[in-house]
């Protein structure tokens, strides 16, 4: 038997860091949305009790550091499964980019293995297991547009964000999420109005939504990597309706209502960065 799952990238329309919790994680309130750029995972049963990962990406480890491996182990341990699986990954989401590529692959693994091993678990049950793999994985189990709070484990589904074009630009630097959170100072932090973004998504008001995009982590990453600010400035100069860093970065995304604008932003940034994608927001489902 062969099971296929898509693992879409996400962007943060809003990310507010509220405070540092006793468990060392930060209490967050975010609006996340899936975009039409996805990895593809194919799962096949193996006769022996092993998790084997194969990928077309040279950036992805295929051992226990891979979130796919960790997700399979979480499921195997929780349900005492002694079966093996071969996972083949066609990687399209930039790695270590702030787009939840690894987390989305892990979530796709939970969904795929639930089907392959006929466990009959609901998405809610998978989301509970998912947090043991990483904070963004519970959201990625369902994807679409959602308010995500707590450590990343409290989910409130929203209607799909208003349709538009998303230009994603990843500079060639790597950013550690742990280091970005570690450098966050609550004396000097921007708190975006997450409720206003949520209300705009519910009202399907694109113009109100783009007014309120914001990310508490952006200034931390910009301080170390000014190129993030330069990309934002160029995106606005070339006609983007808004530009924001996703997650802990370093990817910056621009939102454009019109495709011609998205093309202009993309063309304008191509000379500056190699990793430039124009994608559509995803309709729900
Ligand atoms: O959960 P995950 O392993 O993806 O998180 C990576 C790092 O990001 C954590 O080790 C932690 O330093 C930071 N983090 C945080 N608060 C969150 C999520 C992540 O401080 N809610």
What integer pLDDT is reported at residue 104 of this predicted model? 98
Q: Average pLDDT, stretch 124-141?
A: 98
One domain, residues 125 and 262: no
177 lines ligand 1 (CB under 6 A): yes
Would you say residue 219 lies in a domain?
yes
Domain encompassing residue 103? 2-157
178 in contact with ligand 1, CB cutoff 6 A: yes
* pLDDT tens for each residue of 138-168: 999 999 999 999 999 999 999 999 999 999 9
**114 CB under 6 A from ligand 1?**
no
Ligand 1 contact via 40 beta carbon (within 6 Å): no
Do 139 and 208 sit in the same domain of this protein? no
Pair 29, 149 in one domain:
yes
Integer Cα distance of 87 and 164 in angstroms: 33
189-212 per-position pLDDT tens digit:
999 999 999 999 999 999 999 999
Structure ipTM over 0.95, yes or no: yes
User: 282 CA distance to ligand 1 centroid (A)?
Assistant: 26
Residue 285 lies in a domain: no
Domain count across the chain: 2
How far is Cα of residue 1 from the mean position of the Cα atoms in its chain? 29
Residues 37 and 152 in one domain: yes
Does the bond joining 250 to the residue before it have cis omega, within 30 degrees of 0? Answer: yes
| 268 Cα to the center of ligand 1, angstroms | 33
Domain end point (choices 91, 123, 157): 157
Residue 284: which pLDDT band, with cuts at 50, 70 and 90? confident
Choosing from 101, 135, 139, 179 the residue with most ligand 1 atoms within 8 A of its CB, the one to mutate for a pocket test is 135
Is this structure's pTM higher than 0.90? yes
DSSP 148: E
How far is ligand 1, taken at its centre, from the CA of residue 177, in Å? 7
Does residue 173 share a domain with residue 153?
no
């Amino acid at each position: 038997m062969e099971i296929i799952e898509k693992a879409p990238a996400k962007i943060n329309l809003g990310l507010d860091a509220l405070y540092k919790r006793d468990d060392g994680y930060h209490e967050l309130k975010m609006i996340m949305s899936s975009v039409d750029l996805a990895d593809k995972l194919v799962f096949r049963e193996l006769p022996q009790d092993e998790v084997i990962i194969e990928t077309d990406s040279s950036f992805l480890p295929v051992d226990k550091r891979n979130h796919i491996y960790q997700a399979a182990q979480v499921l195997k341990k929780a349900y005492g499964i002694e079966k093996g699986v071969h996972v083949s990954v066609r990687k399209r989401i930039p790695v270590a980019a702030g787009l939840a590529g690894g987390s989305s692959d892990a979530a796709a693994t939970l969904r795929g293995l639930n089907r392959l091993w006929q466990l009959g678990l609901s998405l809610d049950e998978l989301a509970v297991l998912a947090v043991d793999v990483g904070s963004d994985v519970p959201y990625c189990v369902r994807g679409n547009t959602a308010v995500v709070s707590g450590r990343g484990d409290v989910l409130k589904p929203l209607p799909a964000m208003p349709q538009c074009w998303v230009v994603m630009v990843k500079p060639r630097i790597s950013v550690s999420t742990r280091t970005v959170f570690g450098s966050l100072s609550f004396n000097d932090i921007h708190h975006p109005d997450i409720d206003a973004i949520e209300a705009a998504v519910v009202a399907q008001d694109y113009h109100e939504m783009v007014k309120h995009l914001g990310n508490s982590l952006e200034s931390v990453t910009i301080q170390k990597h000014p190129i993030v600010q330069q990309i934002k400035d160029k995106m606005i100069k070339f006609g983007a309706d808004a530009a924001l860093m996703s997650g802990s970065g370093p990817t910056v995304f621009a939102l454009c209502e019109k495709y011609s604008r998205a093309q202009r932003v993309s063309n304008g940034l191509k000379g500056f960065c190699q990793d430039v994608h124009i994608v559509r927001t995803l309709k729900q489902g």
